[in-house]
Amino acid sequence: MKSISTGPLIGRKTRVVLALAALVAVGVFFLAGSISDKPAEKLAETTKANSAKPALTVSLVTPEKLDWPQVLPANGSVVAWQEAVIGPEISNYRITEVRVQVGDQVRKGQVLARIASDTVDIELAEARAAVAELQAGATEAKGNAARATELKAKGFYSSQLNIQYQTAEHMAAARLAAARARQQAAELKLSKTNVLAPDDGVISARSAVVGSLTQTGQELFRLIRGGRLEWRAEVPSADLVKVKPGQIAALINPNGEAVKGKVRVVAPSVDPQTRNGLIYVDLPATSAVRAGMFARGEFELARSSALTLPQTALVLREGFAYVFRLEGDSHVAQTKVTLGRRLGERIEVVGGLEPQARVVETGAGFLADGDVVKVVEGSAKP
């Protein structure tokens, strides 16, 4: 029986299989490479397209030179120019009427309150009666003295008796004068039952209550004389010499309203603790400020040229101020600038920017250095 040899046949089959596997692997490699190259090309094309697309449509502005004031900032309180304390001039009498309230405008001599006058009326009546009685006695004593003088001349009265009648006349006249003084005191006391305004002004406080008893030194009302207010601004001692009487001061109340006043006087001394001095500024009559209010403001010292931009063109990042300057036709560059004075909606640029530069006016906060932008035609305005 013949044996069949399979060794060489098996070797040839193995080589064929391995060759086919190698061909398949090479085909898969090249196919995968061609497939992977297409997304890369598409990604590059997409990136290129995106890089050319503007990040933002912007309008441009160039810095504008303006004549701006040099100012000295200050803080201080608004107080009454002079505040009068009004109290009763008679004590232990009951208040019967209060005629004014806080905030009322009053005139000099106007009745603010009334005090019970019953007892004072009686005292005045007694004083008048005493005056009438003593006036009659004085008239009698004067007549007796005149007759004594005549009779002495005829030899009927002695000199001693005549002197007695003359003395009685003088005593009666003195008692009458004292009675008249008491009558005047009673009349004056009666007039004090009306509490009067010492000057024109505004009632700033009221503690008078109907039915309460008056006391010596008691405060019934407070009056802002003339309704005048002043701003007492605190300024460092080194800056006091820069402010002169007559200069204009502008202050802002807590609601943002502006009020202008005029410097009346600069304090001749400074506080040894704070090293600040006071500047007294007369304020106009207005409801924008009230006594006791805290306000910030500034004094206009001089005027000078300033290179300014709208505040919308500025971007604050990491504690610094930047603007986005247009370079070429469509690219912007982030530029660090140094700021100065601020006035309204504009701010002074003191460094980092050329006067002819064109910068993004609004929306700069959405840009990054090197971004492509679309510029609105004719937007580079001062």
Q: What is the distance between the alpha carbons of residues 115 and 92, in angstroms, rounded to a whole number? A: 10
* pLDDT on residue 265: 94
* pLDDT on residue 12: 53
Q: Which residues pair with 342 in a beta bridge?
A: 347
* pLDDT on residue 302: 80
In the predicted model, is pLDDT for residue 56 greater than 70?
A: yes
Cα torsion angle, 270, 271, 273, 274, sign: negative
Query: What domains does the chain contain, in order, with CATH numbers?
Result: 56-68+305-375 (2.40.420.20), 72-81+226-304 (2.40.30.170), 91-115+194-225 (2.40.50.100), 117-192 (1.10.287)
Q: What are phi and psi of 190, to 5 degrees?
A: -65, -40
Task: Dump pLDDT digits (tens) for 146-170.
Answer: 888 888 787 777 778 878 888 888 8
Q: How confident is the model at residue 7 (pLDDT cuts 50, 70, 90)?
A: very low
Q: What are phi and psi of 291, to 5 degrees?
A: -60, 135
Q: How confident is the model at residue 40 (pLDDT cuts 50, 70, 90)?
A: very low
Q: Which two tokens stand for residue 109?
A: 């001599």
pTM higher than 0.75:
no
What SS3 state is found at 154? helix
Task: Dump pLDDT digits (tens) for 246-256.
Answer: 999 999 888 88
In the predicted model, is pLDDT for residue 236 greater than 80?
A: yes
Q: What is the distance between the alpha carbons of residues 11 and 226, in angstroms, rounded to a whole number? A: 125
What SS3 state is found at 188? helix
* pLDDT on residue 22: 60
Task: Dump pLDDT digits (tens) for 66-124.
Answer: 888 888 889 999 999 999 999 999 999 999 999 999 989 999 999 999 999 988 899 89
Are 295 and 335 in contact, with CB atoms under 8 Å apart?
no
* pLDDT on residue 8: 46
Q: How confident is the model at residue 257 (pLDDT cuts 50, 70, 90)?
A: confident
In the predicted model, is pLDDT for residue 3 greater than 60?
A: no
CA nearest to 69, candidates 359, 351, 352, 344: 344
Please compute the mean of the pLDDT values over residues 43-54 and round it to a whole number: 53
Query: Given the structure tokens 């397209």, which residue do they identify?
Result: 49
Task: Dump pLDDT digits (tens) for 315-338.
Answer: 998 889 999 998 888 888 999 999
Q: Which two tokens stand for residue 311?
A: 């505040």
Q: What is the distance between the alpha carbons of residues 281 and 344, in angstroms, rounded to a whole number? A: 23
* pLDDT on residue 51: 54
